[in-house]
Amino acid sequence: MDSDFSIPTPKIQYYCSRDDHLRVQTLYWNTGFTKDQIALQLNLSIHQVKYTLTYQLTPQKQRSGWRPFLRPAEQQ
Percent of the chain with pLDDT over 90: 39
Domains and CATH numbers, the chain: 8-57 (1.10.10)
Flag whether pLDDT at 35 surpasses 90.
Answer: yes
> Per-residue confidence at 36, pLDDT binned at 50, 70, 90?
very high
At 34 the pLDDT is: 95
In angstroms, the CA 35 to CA 48 distance is 10
The CA-atom distances, in angstroms, between 61 and each of 2, 18, 23, 47, 51 are 55, 12, 19, 25, 21
Say if pTM beats, i.e. exceeds, 0.85: no
